[in-house]
Amino acid sequence: MSKQKYMELAEKLPYQYIKDSPTVKYYTDWRKYDKALILPKSTRTLKPPIKIAEKANIILGASSWETRNLPEKVSVEELGDDYEPGFNVESRIQAIHFARLEKPVKITIEPYTVLDEPVVIESHGGDGFLAHHIVLDVGANSDVKIVLVEYASSNGGESVKTFMVEGRITENSNVSIYTLPLHRGAACYHYKRLRLGENSRIESRILGLAGLMSHFREDYELDGSNSGVEVYGSIVAGNGRIDSITNIVHQAPRTKSLVLIRGVVLGKGLLVHRGVARVTPRAQWSSTSIDSHVSVLSEEGKGYSVPMLEIQTGRVLEARHSTAVTSIEEDQLFYMQSRGLSKRDAEKILVESIIGYSGLLERLELSLDEILTIVY
């Protein structure tokens, strides 16, 4: 489809098909994305302000990309601006993404690839409008780690960014994907859509920070028998807004999914996590579990947790979900302050416990101060 066709599609499609109602509620403020069609394309970019980005093997800029020290059996190619995605474009923001996308790239990991060190992908932030798109193809019988450092910052001006990863994990492969969507002051749409083949596994760990409006969405399709996905997430909303969605579809027998999300709200922030797991009739003897917990550390902040299961067969091993939205009581903060901590330091300890839940501080050797500098 041509750029013009996507532009026409963007004018026709809604951001969401089901309007907000008392029983169905969406939490993304789509008005923050309305200028995506008219903002100038980014001419300069901003590097992610964390040390792991210095180890980047693949760097995506405003209208160019480059590679550094790519591991053997890993290759990158440019796909051309008329690239057709492997899924149906279903919303206005996705149509805008493809209408204005430049230089999408395909990352290919050859079969039987085992890497000791992760492949680090760095996506710069930028002024105006910026779109990055990655197609990931992991060959059979591979064992790899991928780090996605996705940064967005308004830098004092108006900024909208879209970032997408799509692809397939072929059979008998184990892939760990560590994702850092670090948003600051911009409206961002962050979308990951992956399909899993037979006996393949994904361990997804995400540490996400809110921008002006951040929409995080992860879609996993378990197409092969005995495939599985585990999602561990820490999500932090400072004075920004995050609408985070985890969708998992079980399409084959004996598949397994586990979602464990912890979120924290600071200041006037808003944080929503919606976890949806669907077990189709073909996915007999599968198991799924969603556990979502949001902590609100301020009087003006808001948090929501909405897990949902759709089980279409009676032959399942496990189907469960749990949810909680809690606030930190003043007496808890008072107790910590009475032990000599300032209110900010007490809050920092509480935030650290939730940020650490994703496991990425240790795995990527991140410092808490690096993350908190972006949060605050």
pLDDT in tens, 344-367: 777 777 788 888 889 999 999 888
- Overall number of domains in the chain: 1
CB 205 within 8 A of CB 211: no
Map tokens 């961002």 to a residue: 188
CB 148 within 8 A of CB 180: yes
pLDDT band at 24; cut points 50, 70, 90: low
Cα separations in angstroms, 73 against 101, 195, 200: 27, 21, 19
Of all residues in the chain, the percent with pLDDT exceeding 70 is 95
Read off the pLDDT of each residue in 54-65 and give the average, rounded to a whole number: 93
User: What is the pLDDT, as a whole number, of residue 153?
Assistant: 85
Angle at 330 between CA 358 and CA 244, to 5 degrees: 30
pLDDT band at 285; cut points 50, 70, 90: very high
Read off the pLDDT of each residue in 138-160 and give the average, rounded to a whole number: 90
User: What is the pLDDT, as a whole number, of residue 341?
Assistant: 78
Q: Which domain holds residue 230?
A: 3-375
Q: How far, in whole angstroms, is CA 283 from its chain's centroid?
A: 25
pLDDT band at 63; cut points 50, 70, 90: confident
pLDDT band at 255; cut points 50, 70, 90: very high
Is the pLDDT confidence value at 41 over 80?
yes
